């Protein structure tokens, strides 16, 4: 009995300890949210049109399903001095035909056909490099936009105003993650939380800290600063070209700025479990800063935090419901209360970030899938295998960062 009592106390203290860790993480998340700028649609009464010339560069490879909706949202932007250039990266579907059809509706929309990228170049980097060279001196700002994004009419005006307000050379926004399938709604929030753990906006926005991060779905940069750091030619062979480009800005002393833009743009990155696993395998290991120890830490930390309270909380609930109480009632109540608190935190955090809070009880399953993807990503990158993405073999052509 004494041995059983000792084991009970050890397990109970571990559970309570994890509960305190969750309290710390929840409070930290709230503080991070307060410290992170959040951009909203503009007030028409206070809106002052910027005179800056902006060119939106949209790299597109086999984006027939997404490109029209994206371009229509760009064509509707409230910023007047905007030019839109789609760089077709050798699409094998009707992407180019869709763009040509839309060009008949908008004078500020144009299309550039990119050749096969040369050795040492990733396709997206090559397309954006060509686009930037094509617009030459016709723009003050370049706006890099992925084809699977949708934008509010003030998406550009609000971000441009914020960049000018804080004197940023590069501004990047965090989107609303749109999920339509079960697996997207389950897994995408866990991936987003993992990325946020390694790239805190408050640190990215502090010019005194060395952290650098940008979201390639939405990057707005001054042309002069972009050229000064070497543009996409400086990150030509990198899978994680957005983060690497942000590092170039940061290392050269130029200011980068990260903001929440859920009210300004959204993205549906993947359409189901298969594309989700393959897509995140491409870059998730790199997003945890390409360290095996970091990857294992993230896996163990996330699994323990989500699984332990759930397992013992559900076990305690079962003991109460069945009347079979192998532990004292107070101990079972403590386990159940800890899980109720953890689950409440998970629901609130998902709700606050618009991450489908109804899926919070399935957090252990979500983190298990993310753990598998992260370890798969680590294995492939460390062994130089990469993944096949849109018909191309994708891996860091210049080695690990």
Q: Is the Cβ–Cβ distance between 169 and 221 less than 8 Å?
A: yes
In whole angstroms, give the CA distance from residue 242 to residue 210. Answer: 16
Tokens representing 308 are 């332990």
Q: pLDDT band at residue 323, thresholds of 50, 70 and 90?
A: confident
Q: What is the pLDDT of residues 353-372, one digit of tens each?
A: 999 999 999 999 999 999 99
Q: What is the pLDDT of residues 198-208, one digit of tens each?
A: 898 989 999 88
> What number of residues does the chain have?
401
The yes-or-no verdict on residue 18 having pLDDT over 80 is: yes
Report the chain's mean pLDDT, rounded to a whole number: 91
Which of 2-6, 96-100, 110-114, 245-249 shows the lowest mean pLDDT across its residues? 2-6
**pLDDT confidence of residue 50:** 84
Q: pLDDT band at residue 386, thresholds of 50, 70 and 90?
A: low
Q: What is the pLDDT of residues 218-267, one digit of tens each?
A: 999 999 999 999 999 999 999 899 999 999 999 999 999 999 999 999 99
Q: Is the Cβ–Cβ distance between 235 and 125 less than 8 Å?
A: yes
Q: Which domains does the chain show, CATH number per domain? A: 2-31+291-384 (no CATH), 54-184+199-271 (3.90.550.10)
Q: Is the Cβ–Cβ distance between 54 and 139 less than 8 Å?
A: yes
**pLDDT confidence of residue 399:** 46
Determine if the pTM surpasses 0.85: yes
In whole angstroms, give the CA distance from residue 29 to residue 200. Answer: 10
């Amino acid at each position: 009995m004494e041995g059983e009592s000792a084991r009970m106390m050890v397990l109970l203290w571990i559970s309570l300890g994890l509960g305190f860790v969750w309290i710390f993480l929840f409070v930290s998340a709230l503080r991070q949210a307060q410290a992170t700028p959040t951009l909203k649609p503009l007030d028409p009464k206070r809106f002052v049109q910027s005179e800056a010339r902006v060119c939106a560069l949209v790299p597109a490879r086999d984006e027939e399903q997404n490109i029209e909706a994206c371009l229509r949202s760009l064509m509707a932007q409230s910023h007047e001095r905007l030019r839109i250039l789609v760089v077709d990266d050798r699409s094998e579907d009707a992407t180019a035909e869709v763009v040509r059809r839309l060009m008949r509706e908008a004078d500020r929309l144009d299309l550039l056909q990119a050749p096969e990228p040369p050795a040492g170049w990733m396709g997206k980097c090559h397309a954006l490099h060509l686009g930037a060279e094509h617009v030459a001196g016709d723009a003050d700002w370049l706006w890099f936009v992925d084809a699977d994004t949708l934008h509010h009419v003030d998406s550009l005006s609000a971000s441009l105003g914020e960049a000018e307000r804080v004197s940023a050379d590069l501004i990047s926004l965090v989107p609303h993650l749109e999920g339509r399938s079960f697996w997207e709604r389950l897994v995408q929030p866990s991936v987003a939380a993992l990325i946020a753990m390694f790239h805190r906006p408050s640190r990215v926005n502090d010019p005194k800290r060395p952290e650098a991060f940008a979201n390639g779905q939405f990057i707005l940069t001054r042309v002069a600063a972009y050229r000064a750091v070497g543009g996409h030619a400086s990150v030509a062979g990198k899978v994680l070209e957005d983060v690497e480009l942000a590092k170039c800005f940061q290392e050269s002393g130029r200011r980068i700025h990260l903001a929440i833009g859920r009210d300004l743009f959204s993205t549906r990155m993947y359409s189901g479990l298969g594309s989700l696993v393959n897509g995140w395998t491409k870059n998730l290991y790199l997003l945890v800063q390409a360290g095996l120890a970091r990857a294992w830490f993230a896996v163990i930390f996330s699994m323990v935090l989500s699984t332990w309270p759930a397992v013992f909380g559900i076990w305690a609930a079962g003991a109460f419901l069945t009347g079979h109480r192998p532990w004292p009632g107070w101990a079972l109540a403590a386990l159940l209360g800890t899980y109720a608190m953890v689950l409440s935190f998970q629901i609130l955090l998902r709700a606050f970030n618009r991450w489908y809070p109804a899926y919070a009880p399935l957090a252990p399953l979500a983190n298990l899938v993310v753990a598998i993807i992260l370890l798969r990503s680590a294995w492939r990158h460390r062994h130089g295998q990469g993944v096949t993405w849109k018909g191309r073999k994708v891996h860091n052509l210049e080695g690990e960062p």
